[in-house]
Amino acid sequence: MRYRTAFVVLLAVSAWAADKKPITTRGANRDVEIMATAYITAPDIKAALGAELGKDIVTVYVEVRPKSGKQVAIAADDFVLRSYKDGQKSSPYAASQIAGKGGLALTSVPAGGGGLMSQGNGPVWGGVGGGMPQRLPGNGTGIGNSASDPDSTEAVEKDSKKEKDNPLLVLLKQKGLPEGETKDTVKGFLYFPLEGKHKAKDLAISYGNGASRIIMEFQQ
């Protein structure tokens, strides 16, 4: 009886471990075939990328294969990551937005202090149930006052002269998805801002737009 119980526990642990593995999804249109693998947890991202990126970033490894030898234009902004959990959607960060010199650092400032609300490439919240979508804090330029919030986000420009070359920036560029026109298969990482905790089953990545758009869900 004890052996049977141990066997059942082992099966449950194995199923749990399998559920924790990064999930790969596939899709295609008339021009390209795409395979994408989502790395959500910090340990998975570090193991796949070779570096830690901090919280609120989901890393997706993408492989794009042009069909029938046809030349296609590949751009990171053609991809959008969406969360069914809370309605967020975002385009990928450039490597320089994560680890660049002279970028914008986001700092919290008290309400009423004349701070600037960051607006730019952060994930977009809402658009579900008729609500107007709003962009979450991300890298970009700031406009307006945000006195209605207990804490607002101020974009502060870093002094690139005081910064040394960042090995992380080099790594992110080297391992990022190549962009440009190609007839060959290209592979690389995309770095998406996504606030909060999410499971793979909550996420989907889309490529392109209009009738040729590909939507790929990260489901078991």
Of 109, 119, 184, the closest CA to residue 149 belongs to 109
* Mean pLDDT for the stretch of residues 29-37: 95
| Domain total in the chain | 2
Taking residues 153-176, what's their average pLDDT? 70
Question: Could you give the CA distance from residue 42 to residue 56 in angstroms, rounded to a whole number?
Answer: 10
Q: Are residues 94 and 171 in the same domain?
A: yes
Within this chain, do residues 109 and 149 fall inside the same structural domain, yes or no?
yes
Q: Quick one: pLDDT at residue 96?
A: 92
The verdict on residue 197 lying in a domain is yes
- Give the model's pLDDT for residue 2: 52
215 found inside a domain: yes
Helix ranges (DSSP H) in the chain: 2-20, 42-49, 95-99, 167-175
Domain shared by 125 and 60, yes or no: no
143 with 46, same domain?
no
CATH assignment of the domain containing 55: 2.60.40
Q: Which residue has the higher pLDDT, 141 or 98?
A: 98
Residues 140 and 83 in one domain: no
Q: How confident is the model at residue 128 (pLDDT cuts 50, 70, 90)?
A: very low
Flag whether 91 is in a domain. Answer: yes
pLDDT of residue 147 exceeding 50, the answer is no
Average pLDDT over residues 193-201: 92
Q: Are 21 and 138 in contact (CB under 8 A)?
A: no
Question: Would you give the DSSP letter of residue 45?
Answer: H
| Per-residue pLDDT at 165 exceeds 90 | no
Domain that holds residue 148: 104-157
Residue 8 lies in a domain: no
Do residues 93 and 175 both lie within one domain? Answer: yes
Locate the DSSP E strands across the chain: 23-28, 32-39, 57-66, 72-74, 79-83, 89-90, 104-110, 117-120, 124-125, 134-135, 140-143, 151-157, 180-182, 186-193, 203-207, 214-217
Q: Which residues pair with 117 in a beta bridge?
A: 143
Q: Clarify whether residues 130 and 195 are in a common domain.
A: no
- Given 157, 176, 195, the domain boundary residue is 157
